[in-house]
Structure 1
Amino acid sequence: MATSTDPAALYPDVAMEGSLAAALRAAAIKDGFSVPFTASESDLLRHAAVVSTVPQRTILEITAWVAERRWSIRGCESFQGMALIDGTTQDLAQVARAAQAWHDGAALTEISRAASFVHLTGRFEVADHDPVRLAESEWQHLLTEADEADWPEYRALVEAAYAEPALRGLYPFTSHWTLRFSTSTRPRLTVIPLCLDAHRDSRYTLSASIMGEVLVDTITVADAVSTAVRHLPSGLGPVTSGAA
């Protein structure tokens, strides 16, 4: 329920501390631990961050909502900048607990146990940036996302594509819920010009590119996936690194 867009009115406890970072430090101390929160110079009451002792993690970004009293978090892996955890809560103490676990290098599952609002995206950490493992991590994210989506056709598409070895060996990504593939990881994708789409009327299409020629339009997800495999370029090897 919206109450005010004035951060001092919406977050008077934060305003009393002078910044979101200071309020989080106070919440942590009250719980018996200490976390090195950093204040945002541009918006003291709405933004804060905390670094991690794990080198393959970015800072944990903490953001206060504008028109509702609530906080969001986002923590990414450092090589591609893809989210490992996110979540929203109205409990500042829970944010502080999640931040402590992120900073201290706790396993992702342990972070979600420390703070129940934390959502695991399905990705896992790949310390050595191995491209094959990064591709598998991205597949696990897409499977998690598909399982959470209220869209049976999309879930069926992702599961069928993952079950096909020729596609599972590629790096998957989505654009507006269109399933696509690359022969290299982020940050520099080498895109294969094939697009798999699920439709809510139980149809599946394979297109030659975004808005390109439709190669198949079917009610059977297996047909769409097998057609995609037949249209893959020849001679594809293991996924390579997309590092510049």
Structure 2
Amino acid sequence: MSSNSSPVRREPSFADPDLYPDVAEARSLAAALTSVASELGLSLGEVLTNDSDPYRSAGVESLAPDRKPSWIILGSVERWFTFSGWWQGVELITGSTVDLGEMARALDAWRSGAKIREIHEAATFVKVSELAEAHELGPAEAVAVKWRRLLERLRQDVDRLELARSVLALAETAFDEPKLRQLYPFTSHWSLHFTTCTGFPFSWDVPFVDPLSDGRHVVSGPSRGTVVGEADTPEDAVAMVVAGLPENCGPAVAGTADDPR
């Protein structure tokens, strides 16, 4: 092959007729989904297609504000229809089923703007987490549940993971600080972060803390490459974070860092 040859174009692959005879017969997932929805008397609107994989993926737009289209993909080894539903940077629902009709019921509920618990009632394969329900209630509830779950997870890990002890001490100290307790916390590679929004992508306007193996801590940020300083205690590290908070920093808000403020 010559060096200036064009790359081989890969054609989209059809759904496996042994696993998905309904999709294969309809010639695309969108067509199969539209057909089964019609049979069930459901309204999915115009089902979206993915030009790069029209035979194995499809999406349904929601009429509810800020809900993203929910996309379905097919399992390649076993028959599974898998989907998720995102809203304001949060994955509210997810799930897999072998029944395309059940998937259509879930998508109909997502499209109509039903509460996530109602979507689960319409299609019981749909998974709904406590944190997702908290997000649906508002950012303050999401922050409160996120803090509780973070602290619970770290307390479960302290007996088997050395770094969990350091991060737990940091998190408990930060939780006692009202200015940080109102922000949305998360960990990444054992770094403790605080974001001013509750959806992903998260904000990078608050310093974060890395625990060190000798018990000290490095405070960095807001940008990833900026080191604020080192601290000997969790209290000193938290004080550095508070000192680096953006001006007029208030409670975390719903949405993502990409949303206009």
Q: 1:89 aligns with which of 80, 97, 108?
A: 97
What is the CA distance between 1:181 and its match in structure 2?
Answer: 1.0
Report the TM-score when normalising by structure 2. Answer: 0.65
Distance 1:11 1:174 in 2: 40
CA contact (8 A) 1:53 1:103 kept: yes
Letter in structure 2 aligned against 1:51:
E
Counterpart residue number, 2:71: 61
CA contact (8 A) 1:76 1:82 kept: yes
Counterpart residue number, 1:134: 139
Q: Which moved more, 1:10-19 or 1:45-54?
A: 10-19
Distance 1:182 1:144 in 2: 16
Distance 1:12 1:178 in 2: 48
Counterpart residue number, 2:15: 7
Closer/same/farther in 2, CA of residues 101 and 176 from structure 1, 3 Å limit:
farther
Letter in structure 2 aligned against 1:65:
G
Structure 1, residues 186-205: CA drift from partner, whole Å, max 9, x if none?
A: 657233332367x9xxx998
CA contact (8 A) 2:195 2:205 kept: yes
Counterpart residue number, 1:104: 112
Matches within 5 A, 1:139-178: 140=145, 152-153=157-158, 157=168, 160=172, 165-176=178-189, 178=191
Distance 1:28 1:52 in 2: 15
Structure 1, residues 13-58: CA drift from partner, whole Å, max 9, x if none?
A: 2111121122222332343323222232321222111111111211
Distance 1:50 1:239 in 2: 33
Counterpart of 1:119 in 2: which secondary structure? coil
What is the CA distance between 1:102 and its match in structure 2?
Answer: 0.3
* Higher share of residues assigned strand: 1
Number of aligned positions between the proteins:
222
1:34 corresponds to 2:34: no
Distance 1:84 1:23 in 2: 25
What is the CA distance between 1:169 and its match in structure 2?
Answer: 1.2
Q: 1:238 aligns with which of 225, 228, 250?
A: 250
Distance 1:144 1:32 in 2: 40
Report the TM-score when normalising by structure 1. Answer: 0.69
Distance 2:217 2:116 in 1: 35
What is the CA distance between 1:73 and its match in structure 2?
Answer: 1.1
Counterpart residue number, 1:130: none
What is the CA distance between 1:71 and its match in structure 2?
Answer: 2.1
- Structure 2 gaps of 5+ residues are 1-12, 159-163
What is the CA distance between 1:90 and its match in structure 2?
Answer: 2.6
Counterpart residue number, 2:7: none
Closer/same/farther in 2, CA of residues 56 and 30 from structure 1, 3 Å limit:
same
CA contact (8 A) 2:60 2:71 kept: yes
Identical aligned pairs, as a percentage? 34
CA contact (8 A) 1:194 1:206 kept: no
- Structure 1 gaps of 5+ residues are 127-132, 217-222
Counterpart residue number, 1:208: 219
Counterpart residue number, 1:19: 28
Q: 1:44 aligns with which of 54, 65, 68?
A: 54
Closer/same/farther in 2, CA of residues 125 and 178 from structure 1, 3 Å limit:
same
